[in-house]
Amino acid sequence: MVPLSFAGEEWLLTEGRALYWPRERALLVADLHLEKGSFFARHGQPIPPYDSRETLERVALAIRETGARRVITLGDNFHDSDGSTRLEPHAAGMLDALTRAVDWVWITGNHDPEMEARCGGTLAEELEIGGTILRHRAKAGEIRPELSGHYHPRLQLKVRQRHIRRPCAVVSANDGPDGKPTGRMILPAFGAYTGGMNAADPEILKALQPAERIDAVVPAKGKLARFNLWHRAA
């Protein structure tokens, strides 16, 4: 885990694409897309059906690493609203154990708007905790601190003639109405079967406006690597 200063607080970004909020003892993960494999299988594209197991194992690992007492998922928890009905017994047991072990909150997304609380935990469209907004999709024009998912950002670099693609968080920085530092963050997709969008895509940059600067951030060898994607002209 590496420290990350965001909106006037210290956070921890894990190597496994999760964000830990020490003040709240909360682990935040975005875009689990559980049962994506079974969804594609039902539509004639057979792929290995173990994505939910792998994703939940990674959630469990992140909880152990951080000591989180709370897990908040930032939407697109299942690949579709009926995904929870397709969980095979082993994955269902894993999820049941996790939602019993911690205070678990599901924020719904565009893939699972009709999700029902049949998997434990509680449901919410969005949350506000200590002045920070938690929702699935970044809201253009938002000036409060905000955490979201949806876009599956991925840093794309060319280093020594090699193309490198790596999931990343995208962070904007700005001054709030009271002059205190604020910002917004889009988390990388956490699910095992999730693709990615170029972090510098205009759609992502537009979603995080207004901003003074927008960076991609990734943990790298125990440190935070930061890559500027956009900044306001002087």
Q: Rounded to an integer, what distance in angstroms lies between the CA atom of residue 147 and that of residue 26?
A: 13
Beta strands 70-74 and 26-29, pairing class = parallel
Q: Whose CA is closest to 37, among 50, 23, 28?
A: 50
Looking at residue 79, what is its pLDDT?
Answer: 65
pLDDT tens digits for range 94-127: 999 999 999 999 998 876 767 766 678 999 999 9
d(CA 201, CA 205): 7
Closest CA to 112 of 59, 150, 168, 58: 150
What is the tens place of the pLDDT at every residue in 123-158? 999 999 999 999 999 998 999 999 999 999 999 987
The residue-averaged pLDDT of 61-83 equals 90
The domains found in the chain, sorted by start residue, are 2-231 (3.60.21)
How many helices and strands, by DSSP H and E, does the chain display?
4, 17
Q: How far is residue 67's CA from residue 183's CA, in Å, rounded to a whole number? A: 26
Q: What is the mean pLDDT of residues 154-171?
A: 87
